[in-house]
Every structure is written in structure tokens, then in C-alpha cells.
Structure 1
Amino acid sequence: MADTLSPEVALRIGLAARALPDTDPKRLINVLVQALGLPITPAKLGRLKVARLKVAADGELGDIEHEHLKTAVNLLKGIGVPVEDTPEPLPEVQPYSEGDMPGSIRVACASNHETRVDGHFGSCARFLIYQVSDREVRLIAIRKTGLAPEEVDKNVFRADLIADCQLLYTVSIGGPAAAKVVRAGLHPIKLPNGGEAAELLDDLKNVIGHNPPPWLAKAMGVDARERIRFTQTEEEFA
């Protein structure tokens, strides 16, 4: 089936599948065949509606949240699909060696554009990896997500990309994906309005330096007895 798709349609389907929890291109193609018939063309995809995608193939995708289906339909229509011949300039990565920033934590930011937190966990183009201490915010890596191997769960694949981080900043993440992120050792934080990573992480930097809440202290590796102290201090000012 994949051999009969044009490169443009194949790209749209691949990106749309990334936007849907627990969905690979093969699963999405099967639904699209039921919804649109063969061949799958850009013109047919341009007329696709969320409601049609939701009920096709006996409701195969019916349990997926409307927000994810809407994102996928837009990608299938070509909305938001990157143009390969005009690559977006990426921010400059700064050198970092373990131990450079004592007391710091590592944060993955789901991003589609430059230094913004504007991506969904399951469909973002890349993760910006920042090291954050109470004194500094440093971009130390940029990890492109790409497509997961067919035999690997998409959300597990993405969680593994950022498994060395303690926090995840993302515009949105579904329940099953969040569970896999937590199992990988990260604390996911949803920021529906997104924003510039540097500004959001500057706020985090201030929290690190001024009595972090217990969940953040845990991510920082603070001893359990010290985390009790943070809780007591919060209660005093409640």
C-alpha cells in the first residue's frame, strides 16, 4: 500500500500518525482507505473532516481525543507540514559537560519552531534540551524526533529520546503517552499556551533557587528528608 502513495501523501500520513496516540502510519492508512477509498490523493485529503475520520473503519480512531484528530486532519490536508526546501534555522547549542552546573536539572521542551515550546508530545518536530540551575539556563542539545521504527511504539520511542531529562514541557500530551513518559522517569508539564522556552525556563530557574516544591525537589535529586522540609515551609505560608 505505501508504495502506491505519492511522496507528498506519504509525508502527510506519517506526520498525522505521529499526532495520534498509539497510531502508526499503517493503522492510519487502513482508516483512510475506509474513509476515502483508493487512491488516497491530496484532493481527497483536502476534503476530509474530523467526523468522517472518527467513524471510519467501525470507529477505529473513535476513542482518540478530538484535539488530536483535528491536528491529524490538518496535517493530512497539508496544513502545518514543513517545506523541505526552506529549512528553519535552529538555535545554537551551547557546550556542556556533566558537573558544569551543580544542582541543575534537565528539561525537554516539545518544539516545532526555533526556541518556542509550541509542540504536542506526539507530533512535535524536535525536543529542545535545556540544563537549568538556579543561576543559568543553557540549551545543550536539539533532538529531532523523526519517525519511530514500525515495530516500536511511537510514544515509547519519543520518551526514550528524552529519558535523560527530569522534566518535559509540552503544549499537550495524552494520558497513555503521559504514562509512558512518567515510566521513563520524567515529570510532564502541560503548557497549553506555550511560549518562549527561555522565558518559561527562567521562571523555573527562580523556583529552583527559592524553595522548590516537593515534586521538583524530587526531580532535582534532593534527599527525602529535605523534601519534607519544603512541604512544611509551604504549609507555613499557605
Structure 2
Amino acid sequence: MADTLSPEVALRIGLAARALPDTDPKRLMMVLVDAVGLPITPTKLGRLKVTRLKAAADGELGDIDTDYLKKAVSLLKGIGVPVDEAPQPLPEVQAYAEGDMPGSIRVACASNHETRVDGHFGSCARFLIYQVSDSEVRLIDIRKAGHAPDEMDKNIFRAGLIDDCQLLYTVSIGGPAAAKVVRAGLHPIKLPNGGEATELLDDLKGVIGNNPPPWLAKVMGVGAEERIRFIQDEEEYA
């Protein structure tokens, strides 16, 4: 069974088992196979809920305190996994020139692993930069977050790394940091459960091409008159 696991998934399971009382990786694997099925993948783990983990394998972990289970599920999702311990294969970046994707917007995704949105704005290892239109999602850049100079505010530094984007997808961002991101011209969107970036952006692609809400229309650069039309359309079909 172990040979069905990628190194990243094996690491997550090992750390999650360590976070649970009286649980080794073998015991946790048995529960996960029942909870998500084989093969166990980052995408499947990203959808895992505490209630499902607690009920799986006839309640094998049902007696464990919910706080421990929440911590384990976060680790299984890749949230809180030490970046320097995790395998870091870089996804392939696609060529892009301004004007290639008419009507598109640029999205920064806070990430620690591969192509997942699984990072906090203030501590993620990198930002994945996607160009998104109503028909395409294209990874156009990967920007290492790094460390701000000693004399510079960390959040302002990070916002500056992505200030050519219109949206920020992140697992978490604090209020003061969000204010600095907004001042840099981005609209932050919190996704506490994270997920595979391309899957999340596929949802955005559909919204872009299907009567976007006024806030997104503004981000896309749609004029005020057109945004009023979107509001009227929403009211008509509400």
C-alpha cells in the first residue's frame, strides 16, 4: 500500500499520525483508505473533513479529541507542514505576453507545495501567478516569497511581490496584512480549506465568463455602467 503514496503524501500522513494520540502511520493509513479511498492524493486529502475522518473505519479514531483531529486534518491538507521538510518539485511555467488572453485577470496563490493553495499570506514559501480568462487558466510565474529587508514591513514587502495581480488566494490573512494587500491593488480571498490551484481557478474561470458579480467586474476593469448592468441582472434573477 505504501508504494501508492507520493513522498509528499507520505510526509503529511507521518506528521498527522504524530499529532494524534496513540496513532502510528499504519493506523492512520487504514482510516484514510476508508475515508478517501486509494490512491491517496493531495487533492483527496484537501477535501477531507474532520467528521469524515472521525467516522471512517467504523470510528477507529472516534474517541480522539476533536482538537487533535483538526490538527491532523490540517497537516493532511498540507497546512502547517514545514516547507523545508516537504518535497518541492516546481510546476512548469507557461509562456505569456501581455494581450495573449483578452479579458483575463491575474491571480496570486499563496503556496507551499506544488500547485496547491495551502499557504498563509505572511508565511507561504512562494506565490504561484496565474493568468485566468473565461476559457483558460495559465501558470505564468512562480515567485519565491523570501524575507523582507530588516527595515521593511514584511506584509508590504510581500504585497509588493504580487502587486501586478488583481486577486490573492490564500488560506489565511490577518486584518492588517489584508489592508496592505488591498492598498497594493489586490482583492484578497480567504480559502481556509485550500485546494488545488487549477481546480479553484477553474471555478473562477466560469464566473468570469458568466455574468461576474460587481466586485469582480471592477477587478476586471469593467466600467461603472457595465457594473450597474451586472447589479440589475442580479436583481432581476434574484
Question: What band does the TM-score fall into relative to the shorter chain?
Answer: 0.5 to 0.7
Equivalent position of 1:199 in the other structure: 199
Amino acid at match of 1:218: K
**1:222 partner SS:** coil
In the TM superposition, what is the alpha-carbon distance from 1:237 to its structure 2 partner?
1.4
In the TM superposition, what is the alpha-carbon distance from 1:128 to its structure 2 partner?
0.2
Aligned in 2, Cα 1:189/1:83: closer, same or farther, shift over 3 Å?
A: closer
Q: Distance in 2 between matches of 1:122 and 1:83?
A: 16
Count of aligned pairs between the two proteins: 161
Equivalent position of 1:112 in the other structure: 112
RMSD of aligned alpha carbons: 1.7
Amino acid at match of 1:81: P
Equivalent position of 1:82 in the other structure: 83
Q: Distance in 2 between matches of 1:236 and 1:117?
A: 35
Aligned in 2, Cα 1:139/1:170: closer, same or farther, shift over 3 Å?
A: same
In the TM superposition, what is the alpha-carbon distance from 1:80 to its structure 2 partner?
3.5
Equivalent position of 2:179 in the other structure: 179
Q: Distance in 1 between matches of 2:139 and 2:235?
A: 34
Q: Distance in 2 between matches of 1:160 and 1:116?
A: 21
Q: Distance in 2 between matches of 1:213 and 1:229?
A: 10
**1:178 partner SS:** helix
User: 1:209-237 CA deviation, whole Å, 9 max, x = no partner?
Assistant: 00000000000000110000001101111
Say if 2:106 and 2:132, in contact at 8 Å, map to a contact too. Answer: yes
Q: How do 1:91-110 residues align onto structure 2 when only pairs under 5 Å count?
A: 91-110=91-110
Say if 2:172 and 2:191, in contact at 8 Å, map to a contact too. Answer: yes
Q: Distance in 1 between matches of 2:83 and 2:229?
A: 48
In the TM superposition, what is the alpha-carbon distance from 1:81 to its structure 2 partner?
3.1
In the TM superposition, what is the alpha-carbon distance from 1:87 to its structure 2 partner?
5.1
Unaligned runs of 5+ in 1: 1-69, 71-78
Equivalent position of 1:132 in the other structure: 132
Q: Distance in 2 between matches of 1:221 and 1:101?
A: 14
Q: Distance in 2 between matches of 1:211 and 1:80?
A: 38
TM-score, normalisation: structure 2: 0.65
Between the aligned residues of both structures, percent identity stands at 83
**1:234 partner SS:** helix
In the TM superposition, what is the alpha-carbon distance from 1:148 to its structure 2 partner?
0.5
Say if 2:130 and 2:137, in contact at 8 Å, map to a contact too. Answer: yes
Amino acid at match of 2:202: D
Q: Distance in 1 between matches of 2:166 and 2:121?
A: 15
Q: Distance in 2 between matches of 1:88 and 1:121?
A: 18
Q: Distance in 2 between matches of 1:143 and 1:87?
A: 17
Q: How do 1:146-225 residues align onto structure 2 when only pairs under 5 Å count?
A: 146-225=146-225
Amino acid at match of 2:111: S
Equivalent position of 1:14 in the other structure: none
TM-score, normalisation: structure 1: 0.65
Q: Distance in 1 between matches of 2:186 and 2:84?
A: 32
